[in-house]
Structure 1
């Protein structure tokens, strides 16, 4: 399977194609402009030659045109193929045969000088293929008053070989191609340098990630451009979340091992002391039940997903309704009314199982201690631009509440599986562990609305 091109190679290839197309269009445009300019210059030069012949010619009293003895350029007067030719057609021209006069350079050659134009008409043609090569031809019709009110109609023709123009164009094209090619190479080298400089932050990110992977550094801690700051911040959050997850697994295994030591020691002691069968049976059943409870608690802790960088936001109301429907069946004899005050914008950014665990433990605790009413409140917390909104969830009941002097003790007791208070410990311990994984906190105080206890989960904006 072919290795995909790097961003630098892709950008350079795309820019190279665009640059090549641009330089090709520039070459075509400049070449065409130069050719038109050279052709215009040639026409103006031929026009100058024609005006010189026109000024040097003069009709005589017999109504014949007397052409000049010397042309405007010495090449007109040479009998060889010099590349410059002149001719006059029509009327009576002194020294002409069959109403056609030619310069010495044009004598005896097959040239396109046969056309007769109307007075004042000018025609420029070329390149015209002839036996003498390709020629540019300028023709102009002229009328003279040749005495006794006679008019003399003649047509002047001036022709020049196109090879001189073609040589100019060829030299220009070679020069232009050399300069544009050199410019293209220089621009590609500059572009390569700019791309390497522009993509260097991405290479630094990749290098830092390799160092993080090898344990050489804790996280991506360099100053990156603003376009990459969001990406690197999310990567750092992801790295931190994974480290916290691994740490939580290790702590859970350690706590599980520590928690199981006591019931195992009790059973071993009973076996070593030779207790009778009935006492041993009840001791084993009691300790096995305790071990089962400890394992269930530690598995709940281990299953906590914790803070997730890329978690989709979950609405609270559907999950709260699902939990409350189940609790109303369990506590049907108490006929508890559970009210919701959930803001539509309240969202939990995390795992669905964690949300159900949090709501389930707090609502179950409220149903257990409430007399008639439970209130669930959820409000989002504002966040800075580009950050996730925070969340505050409060569960209140109208039960006996918790004395202020026991709140701190209660929360501390719920941290470990073998250090819990009956009726509160395991549920609150799970809630605190989940909130710790999400970098939140649990606050317990008095409910001003219902008079019982109020448990508040606070997840800060991130």
Structure 2
């Protein structure tokens, strides 16, 4: 199952990690460029001092007025060096700080400049500024170098502290993100609760007091729910109205055949009377079904604690003339299960059949065990023989043809049980002596 909350956490976390990495790399690059530019500008200033101290009054034989130079260029391996490459002069000028070392410096034309990174004495990391000049009609290339090892170490420290700070910031942002995403997703909690209440029959539609992002979905769901409920009610009412409308004409036809002398009955008349009686029983069943189901929300789950007592009360009214004792027992902690209309039709048909054949007592028990719901109906009637019981459970045998009187009610029960991948058993009741029907439905 895909979790919207997990996907939000993943992609937002990934975005923050990439963002922090970009900030870290950009910050390090900016610091390196800043320090290098600062060092290069200082080298240029030193180069101007060197050019001012350089004298070509003797032609290409150059000399430096050393008093104008910074003494750092006279200290061996001080980290500050210069090299002057004079055109047509094989003897370049080196700073005393280089001692017996040298640097590979290219010869540049006038005005051309470069910035180089070279390894100096004692593996020093040198930044070298090189530029071509002309003074006193002499062309030369000046290179000024500075050791950046200390600055590089400071940059490495900065990178480490910046990385620690970035990781701490990332952890804080991820924690804040987790809280924000969770609070946003929790706003969908009322929608889940409304759906649960809808399934339990506690409400007829979903509340539209929801975030605007899911409001169209909730509105469309409510619209479909309203249409479905109207269609169910319309179909139920139409079926009941049709049965009521046909009951009068059929009663008249049955009475017409009853008034005919038995001697005048032909074979066709007998068959027509049987079919009329069959249609009358079907209508009675549909009317009884409408009364058993009553009014409820489409898709509502069956609450045995609430629905079964009402169903027993209705059956007591239907069979009031027989003074039947209709008892029931319900496990206290049994949860809701099945569709309300399906369960009412299933239990109602079984109880109605039991009431039809019972002598005085009918017992209904509802419970669950090992994730299996069990509905047991018993009566104290004559029961069925072993051969008839075997016929009832045969696959493909229509129940209305197996046993007279149980009719389509048991056929519908079998269809509902198959729909829920359940099982139905017919046995003789040990307690009452009549028929015992056990329906097992997996949770």
TM-score normalised over the length of structure 1: 0.48
What number of residue pairs does the alignment pair up? 286
Matched, 1:214 2:211: no
Counterpart among 140, 149, 157 of residue 163 in structure 1 = 149
How far the C-alpha of 1:6 sits from its partner, in A, is 0.7
Q: Is the Cα–Cα contact under 8 Å of residues 126 and 135 in structure 1 kept in the other structure?
A: yes
Residue in structure 2 matched with residue 43 of structure 1 by the alignment: 40
Q: Is the Cα–Cα contact under 8 Å of residues 81 and 98 in structure 2 kept in the other structure?
A: yes
TM-score normalised over the length of structure 2: 0.50
Residue in structure 2 matched with residue 235 of structure 1 by the alignment: 221
Q: Is the Cα–Cα contact under 8 Å of residues 13 and 174 in structure 2 kept in the other structure?
A: yes
How far the C-alpha of 1:154 sits from its partner, in A, is 4.0
Matched, 1:292 2:279: yes
Matched, 1:69 2:66: yes
Please tell me the root mean square deviation across aligned C-alpha atoms, in Å.
4.8
Q: Is the Cα–Cα contact under 8 Å of residues 87 and 106 in structure 1 kept in the other structure?
A: no
- Per the alignment, do residues 64 and 202 of structure 1 end up closer, same or farther by CA in structure 2, a change over 3 Å counting? same
Worse-superposed segment, 154-163 or 277-286: 277-286
Q: Is the Cα–Cα contact under 8 Å of residues 84 and 160 in structure 1 kept in the other structure?
A: yes
Q: Is the Cα–Cα contact under 8 Å of residues 39 and 165 in structure 1 kept in the other structure?
A: no
Counterpart among 96, 102, 106 of residue 94 in structure 2 = 102
- Per the alignment, do residues 110 and 213 of structure 1 end up closer, same or farther by CA in structure 2, a change over 3 Å counting? same
Q: Is the Cα–Cα contact under 8 Å of residues 254 and 276 in structure 2 kept in the other structure?
A: no
- Per the alignment, do residues 18 and 297 of structure 1 end up closer, same or farther by CA in structure 2, a change over 3 Å counting? farther
Partner-residue secondary structure (3-state), 1:196: helix
How far the C-alpha of 1:44 sits from its partner, in A, is 1.2
Q: Is the Cα–Cα contact under 8 Å of residues 121 and 140 in structure 1 kept in the other structure?
A: yes
Q: Unaligned 5+ residue runs, structure 2?
A: 291-297, 299-443
- Per the alignment, do residues 13 and 62 of structure 1 end up closer, same or farther by CA in structure 2, a change over 3 Å counting? closer
Matched, 1:184 2:170: yes
How far the C-alpha of 1:210 sits from its partner, in A, is 1.4
Q: Unaligned 5+ residue runs, structure 1?
A: 146-150, 304-308, 310-462
Counterpart among 204, 207, 221 of residue 190 in structure 2 = 204
- Per the alignment, do residues 27 and 264 of structure 1 end up closer, same or farther by CA in structure 2, a change over 3 Å counting? same
- Per the alignment, do residues 232 and 121 of structure 1 end up closer, same or farther by CA in structure 2, a change over 3 Å counting? closer
Q: Distance in 1 between matches of 2:253 and 2:140?
A: 136
Matched, 1:125 2:116: yes
Cα displacement string for residues 37-85 of structure 1 (whole angstroms, at most 9, x for unaligned residues) = 3322221121111112222334456874332435765532322x22221
Q: Is the Cα–Cα contact under 8 Å of residues 76 and 84 in structure 1 kept in the other structure?
A: yes
Q: Is the Cα–Cα contact under 8 Å of residues 84 and 94 in structure 2 kept in the other structure?
A: yes
How far the C-alpha of 1:119 sits from its partner, in A, is 4.3
Partner-residue secondary structure (3-state), 1:87: strand
Q: Distance in 2 between matches of 1:207 and 1:72?
A: 85
Partner-residue secondary structure (3-state), 1:221: coil
Q: Is the Cα–Cα contact under 8 Å of residues 87 and 101 in structure 1 kept in the other structure?
A: yes
Cα displacement string for residues 129-151 of structure 1 (whole angstroms, at most 9, x for unaligned residues) = 76643322222344443xxxxx4
Cα displacement string for residues 234-253 of structure 1 (whole angstroms, at most 9, x for unaligned residues) = 32344445555666777757
Cα displacement string for residues 80-114 of structure 1 (whole angstroms, at most 9, x for unaligned residues) = x2222123343799xxxx7333333211123335x
| Aligned pairs (5 A) from 1:415-426 | none
Residue in structure 2 matched with residue 10 of structure 1 by the alignment: 7
Q: Distance in 1 between matches of 2:133 and 2:230?
A: 102
Q: Distance in 2 between matches of 1:295 and 1:194?
A: 61
Q: Is the Cα–Cα contact under 8 Å of residues 74 and 96 in structure 2 kept in the other structure?
A: yes
Residue in structure 2 matched with residue 28 of structure 1 by the alignment: 25
Q: Is the Cα–Cα contact under 8 Å of residues 82 and 95 in structure 2 kept in the other structure?
A: yes
Residue in structure 2 matched with residue 84 of structure 1 by the alignment: 80
Residue in structure 2 matched with residue 375 of structure 1 by the alignment: none
